[in-house]
Each structure stands twice: as structure tokens, then as C-alpha cells.
Structure 1
Amino acid sequence: MLHTHTTAAARRRSLREQLASGRLLRMPGAVNPYSARLIQEAGFDGVYLSGAVLAADLGLPDLGLTTSAEVAHRAQQVTRVTDLPALVDADTGFGGPMNTARTVQLMEDAGLAGLHLEDQADPKRCGHLDGKALVPREAMVRRVRAAADARRDPDFLLMARTDARSVEGPKAAIERARAYVDAGADAVFPEALRSEAEFEAFRKAVDVPLLANMTEFGKSPLLSARVLEDLGYNLVIHPVTLFRLAMGAVEDGLRTLAEEGCQESLLPRMQSRSRLYEVLDYEAYTAFDGGVFDFTLPPGT
């Protein structure tokens, strides 16, 4: 039936082992648990949970308005249905160092394989928008140390994201990343690098696993998986791709329904009922239910 067949600890170990392989791990951003299941069926290496997608799904801008409890709740819903390791966007840790420590343990309990924390100041914003502000380097170091101290499973991946490229320049971003690694970060997410050359320079300067964010309509060029692997990157996320595709289809469908008064012309573009039931594994649920209730109770019982 539609649930995981692995433990959270096993998925964390799997992510660590895959990171050590040297190949690029591809993690599309899930819109919801159902799409996480589709990501697994499509053969990807992991599932990414974007803070921007969760905020948008709740009808909120990506300004740090969601809470750690909301993020952990959605994460638990996703990790219930996929055997892939899942990485979550934990924004700035949802408060001070103590809040960050609690966030780490909430995300561990939610079954995630890891999270990333960023060095923006609140209110944070999308990493590819102008006008970002950073906390001092020392404040982010305290944030990372709090996260490392709170972690109970050593395989839980603690990643530091730096938004310094857009604020202080590429050299400062590298210096910040190194400080975060010294503070206990296992991996680094350099946000909004501007060119392939910058991706390459970051890889040469920082000796831990690196994540590349290939989001649409942003400041970074959309590099292929082959290029990123050749550059030595370890993970790539496509955080909002599925959400944008889905919402674009929803808008098109609503326009057609409003104009034509019927959805018949949309049927060829829809996922069929049979495919929906296949993904949800109705057959296994039916077999399970039949196995439990395939007997007749004796009279009087």
C-alpha cells in the first residue's frame, strides 16, 4: 500500500552514501505527498520540499511567514509516502538559536533526511529577489552550531545556505560558507550564483557536498545535470518547477471551463482515473481489505 517501506534512519544513511558516490543527486520539489510519489516513480534520487512552494500552497508569499510546525507537518505527510530521502527548506530556523535547535528535532521527527538553514535576516525573501539582508556571519555561525548540537541522528544532513553572493559578492559567499562548515554544516547551498564560472569557483573553494538551485526565472543560469555533475556538484534541486507547471495547468483549465462551460475539451490533458488509482495503489488497499474481511462471523457473535 501507499506508505514507506524504509525507516527514516535508513533513508538518511542512503543519502549519505549517495553523496559519497560523487555523482549528482537530482531532487525535484514536491508540491504535495502525491507528487512526491510521482517523483519516486520517475526514478529521481530524492524529494525536495521548498519553503516557497509550501508558502504559496498556503496562499502566502515567501517571506518567512510559515511556521516550523507547518513545515514539519507537510514534511511528515511527504515522508510517509516515499522511500526517497527528503530534504527540506527550513528558512532561517524560525527564530533564534533555541528555535533553530527545536526545528532540527522537529524535522528529524518528521522523517526527513536533512534540512538547510540560510543566513538571511528576517523577514527573509526568495533567494533570487533583490533587497535581501543578511545576518552577521557570527550570528549564522551560532545558528549552525545550535542546529549541530540539537541533531540526534548523526546521519541527518545539516546544510547551510548562503545568500551572500547577491549582497556581499562571491568572495564573501565563499568565506561565509567555509565558516559555516567549520561551525558544523555538512554541506553548503550557495544561492543565486550568476554564471557557470561562479559555480566552478565555489566548487574549487569549498570542500563539502554542494547543492545547486536550478529554479526558473531566477539569477542563476539553468545548467543541465550533466554540466553540474562535470562541475563536481552533489545535489541539484528544481524547487518550484512542478508547482509552476501544476498551477499553470489549473489556470488554463479554469479559463477553458469559464469560456466553454464544460471540461470536455480538457479531458485529453487530464490524468486518467485509472492512472490516479494506479498511483494511489487502490489494488493493494482492496486486497488488504478483502484479506481482513473475507470471512463470515458465526451466528450469535
Structure 2
Amino acid sequence: MLYSTATPAAKRAAFRERLASGELLRMPGAFNPLSARLIEQRGFEGVYVSGAVLSADLGLPDIGLTTLTEVAARTRQIARMTDLPVLVDADTGFGEPMNVARTVQELEDAGVSGLHIEDQVNPKRCGHLDGKEVVDEATALARIRAAVDARRDPNLVIMARTDIRGVSGLADALDRARALVDAGADAIFPEAMATLAEFEAMRAAVDVPLLANMTEFGKSELFTVEALRDVGVNMVIWPVSLLRLAMGAAMRALDTLDSEGTLGPRVGEMQHRAELYDLLDYQGYSRFDSDIFNFSVVRD
């Protein structure tokens, strides 16, 4: 009922423990608090909050237009709705190293278990678009050092994302990843890797947890969880997938409504009211007030 029964500190400690175990954690991207609860209900190990999803939710492109305040507020709403660890996209940290420090503490207060800071030029752009620019190594390392210094809970995972693979190649990405780990990064997110062999090379280059981004329509092939596990990946995200699926369903529904004047043909594709009420835990609220849940929902 209401929010998560686990404290942010407990979720962070559990996240650290599972990462240390070497298992692979599946972290679909939530596009709102309700979808985060669904991810947990369906048995996944974590929730991802994508900067691209947050900007799209505001009707904006993913080009660095969202603010720290917007990201922290929406992330807080998502993180408090699930017992799972939440990993959030913190873009470039929203500014210079001092801004990065504030970003870390704001997101820590929002209840996240981890966040990643990238090495793109600010303002950034989608990691799977051409024409990206990355900062020099000194600037990238300063961001990570500021993030590590700013956290108050040592279990908060500070992940470094590097976009350099798509700018100057794999060799530079490996070198950048090693330097980021030396600067204090707890995990590495190598963006836009092209092959499983590249993930395997990254695994050999660093001894911290590794994340794979399986976004559709991007630079990476959509490898299976099993294939990524076999090359040593520890976390997999599908950042925009649920939003894309939901919006695709909404587009088809609106087309049906426009052409037929009814959504009758689409009812079988909808989440049933009983399923929604179960996800919202209507029955749990009856412990406080029996007047709230005093009915039954019949499924045909």
C-alpha cells in the first residue's frame, strides 16, 4: 500500500550486494510510477529511469532540455513506488563539477540506488545519434570525482557512462573506461557498443560491473540477456521500450476510435480493470478504511 516498504538505504545495500554477486540484473525502463510497480510485479530485478523517457514525457527531445529539478521530482515519484533498486540517467550531471555534486545529492534524496554521469559535451544528445561530442578526459574524470565526493551513502552506485566509442572507436572507449574506474566509478556504461566482442573487450578492460543498453533503433544489436551474460555483462537496460510499446498501442487505439467510432475491437488488448486494481493494491487500502474497497471486480 502507498509507497515502497524498503528504505532507500536498504535498497542501495541490496543493489550493491546483488552487483557483487556477479549475477545479471534486468532493469526495464519505467515511464511512470505505475509502470515501475508493474516491472516489480513481473519479477524483474531493477528499474531504470531514462533521460530520453523523462524528456519525451514532457514532449521534449532528448537534447539536454530537462532540468535537475524535473528529473529529481519524477525520479522520486518512481523510486518510492517500488522495492526494487532504481538506476537513473543523470545526463552530464547538469553542469560543472559543483553542479554534478548537487545532482548526486538531489537524486540521493530522491531515493535512487544508482545514477550514471556521462562524458558528452553539455548539452548532450541521445547516445545513439550521430554527431555526438565528448569532453576531454580531464573533464570526464572531474565529473566522476565530484559525484563520488558528493554522495553521503557509500552504497549509492556512481556509474560512469562513456560515449566515446561512437566518436573515436573502441580502443579509446577502453582507455576512457579504465580512467573512469581509476577516478572512482563503481560501474561502467559503455554506450553504443556494436558487437558482443566489444562488450567482451570492455569486460576484460575493467573489473567493475558493466551495463549494456539494449535500446531499439540504435547502434547496438538487440542481444539477448543470455548472450550478454555470457560475455560478463552485469546489468541490462531497455530504456525506452515500454514507452514505445505503450505509445504504439495508443496510436493504434486512436486510429481505431477515429475509423470505427468505438474501442470495442481493442478491449481484449487492454489491461483489465481487475489487473489494474491488483497492481494498485486496492485490497491493501481496506486495512485502513473498509469503505474504500467494498466491491468486487468481475472478469469475464
Instruction: Give TM-score scaled by structure 1 length.
Output: 0.95
> Aligned residue for 1:205?
205
> Aligned residue for 1:65?
65
Question: Which sections of structure 1, spanning at least 5 residues, go unmatched?
Answer: 293-301
Structure 1 runs (4+) greater than 4 angstroms displaced: none
Is 1:32 the counterpart of 2:32? The answer is: yes
Rg (Cα) greater in structure: 1
Distance 1:290 1:221 in 2: 51
Distance 1:117 1:233 in 2: 19
Letter of the structure 1 residue corresponding to residue 33 of structure 2: P
Cα shift at 1:291: 9.0
Residues 30-83 of structure 1 show CA distances to partners (whole Å, capped at 9, x for unaligned) of 010000000000110000000000100100000011011111111110111100
Distance 2:6 2:266 in 1: 38
Residues 92-127 of structure 1 show CA distances to partners (whole Å, capped at 9, x for unaligned) of 000111110000000100000010000000221111
Is 1:118 the counterpart of 2:83? The answer is: no
Helix, strand or coil: the match of 1:62?
coil
Distance 1:139 1:153 in 2: 24
Distance 2:22 2:254 in 1: 45
Distance 1:4 1:180 in 2: 33
Is 1:84 the counterpart of 2:99? The answer is: no
Distance 1:30 1:282 in 2: 21
Q: State the percentage of identical aligned residues.
A: 63
Cα shift at 1:184: 1.1
Helix, strand or coil: the match of 2:290?
helix
Distance 1:22 1:264 in 2: 47
| Alpha-carbon RMSD | 1.1
> 1:39-54 maps to which residues of 2 (within 5 A)?
39-54=39-54
Distance 2:264 2:191 in 1: 43
> Aligned residue for 1:10?
10
> Aligned residue for 1:145?
145
Helix, strand or coil: the match of 2:158?
strand
Helix, strand or coil: the match of 2:289?
helix
Letter of the structure 2 residue corresponding to residue 26 of structure 1: R
Distance 2:265 2:4 in 1: 37
> Aligned residue for 1:173?
173
Distance 1:89 1:114 in 2: 9
Helix, strand or coil: the match of 1:287?
coil
> Aligned residue for 1:295?
none
> Aligned residue for 1:256?
256
Helix, strand or coil: the match of 1:116?
strand
Is 1:286 the counterpart of 2:294? The answer is: no
Aligned length: 292
> Aligned residue for 1:247?
247
Cα shift at 1:288: 1.3
Distance 2:3 2:194 in 1: 40
Instruction: Give TM-score scaled by structure 2 length.
Output: 0.95
Helix, strand or coil: the match of 1:144?
helix
> Aligned residue for 2:135?
135
> 1:209-228 maps to which residues of 2 (within 5 A)?
209-228=209-228
Distance 1:2 1:260 in 2: 39
Cα shift at 1:2: 3.4
Question: Which sections of structure 2, spanning at least 5 residues, go unmatched?
Answer: 293-300
Distance 1:287 1:240 in 2: 36
> Aligned residue for 2:295?
none
Letter of the structure 2 residue corresponding to residue 49 of structure 1: V
Residues 117-147 of structure 1 show CA distances to partners (whole Å, capped at 9, x for unaligned) of 0000022111111000011110011111111
